[in-house]
Structure 1
Amino acid sequence: MKLVSWNVNGLRSCVNKGTFYEYFDHIQADIFCVQETKLQEGQINLELEGEYRQYWNYALKKGYSGTSVFSKASALSVRYGLEDETEPEGRIITLEFDSFYLVNVYTPNAKRDLSRLAYRLEWEDRFRNFVLQLDSHKPVIICGDLNVAHQEIDLKNFKGNRGNSGFTEEEREKMTLLLNSGFTDSFRYLYPDRTDAYSWWSNMPKVRDRNVGWRIDYFLVSSRLRPFIVDARIDSHVFGSDHCPVVLELEESLNPG
């Protein structure tokens, strides 16, 4: 079973560049998750090759945030938001399948001046409680832009970015707490020492060419799913966004339905 997660930083823009359809058709994912769609209902007619069910969570604010999931299997249930059924920034979609829950999430950014750090940390606590509740029923697969480089190995210039948004001690500690609560970072599980593996690059000139990046896009799984992990990778050769797709492959026995 193949799952993909990609922050496209504007789905219409990514589609117009030709990159989205090219990659989508090539990768042949069973489940394809998208963050930062940046659109409202009716603003795109996405014609996907194959039989895919489409699930969308739109932000109330136009041109902002938003998530979507495209799945070959129909979900048993769908949930938008955490405690509430509605979530104004469109940051999360949870799909229930036969053998697992899938949580597609675009975690709030603390902002450059850290003005949203307090909100971000509160979100982290709510999110952890939410996925732990799900995990008490069946295993959970979490994917998306989690807006944090967890370890020093997860960004090129860790010394210069210490304390900056996405690499504050507080954000990193929340990720550690989530993992210690029973979840596994699938990429680091397979490749604990791999360096220069990034999923996001600044738009500054030549930054991506020199691979001065951050790994902030993840597939986390309930730790009891470790034996089912076949591969986890970062498709850094794929352009069309300031992020690249990340991929998780699991044993077919976990097929969603």
Structure 2
Amino acid sequence: LAKAQGLALEETSQLSGLFKLEGTEGTGMDAGVRSVRKFTKVRVHTVAAVSESDLEAALTTMKQHLDESPLFDEVNTFASAVARQMQIRAIMAILVSMLAITGYIWLRFQSVTFGLAAVAALVHDVLIVLGMVAAVSALNGTSIGNLLQVNDFKINLSMVAAFLTIVGYSLNDTIVVFDRIRETRGKNPMITTNMVNDSLNQTLSRTLLTSLTTFIVVIILYFFGGEGIHGFAFCLTVGILVGTYSSIYVASPVLVWLMNRDNKTAAA
């Protein structure tokens, strides 16, 4: 008993020493006013326990309130409308550019046949690139797709810009070839395959070197340019190859066919 009383007295003295600590009275604007006080009382605040029935009643009331007046009155989906609008604008931009190109070549070469042949090659380029964008989506996630870094590309504004860039690049090569054909033709009303072959041989080195240097740039952009321009660089990579091919093997044969057909029709 004496030992227990000694322990109680020791704990009481320790608590008394704790409650005699000096503190600072006042907070906020009055925190600078200091006064020495003795802590004589200790107050402990506890949160009252909530019974399960009260909690269930509160949740039921809240659920009824949300059912009667939901947070969102309506949901509007505008993604399809925006995509449709962008699609229409992209098609209009490509059509207007091709009409402008036809008019320019018509004035440049004094014949609408040159313009139609050039536009036929440009349509070929755009359709081939668009088809490649759709075709590589099947390789997405495969080992070949991972090696080539192809994704499930979506048509966006940057890819539309790539299509227009391809149109301009392919047109530049086509005009160079057509200009040499016009010089070789002279005043001859007909365009023969020998004329076209000689003109292509004279411009072939220039076409291949220009395409090679441009292809090196776009292939670096494709592999190291980042996700933001990945689709743009893919379209340009395919477009450079297709545009070089079409200026030689599409535009020139179409020009020969159209010119000879018109001359035969006029002669008849």
| TM-score under structure 2 length normalisation | 0.24
| TM-score under structure 1 length normalisation | 0.25
Q: Which has the higher strand share?
A: 1
Q: Which has the higher helix share?
A: 2
Structure index of larger Rg? 2
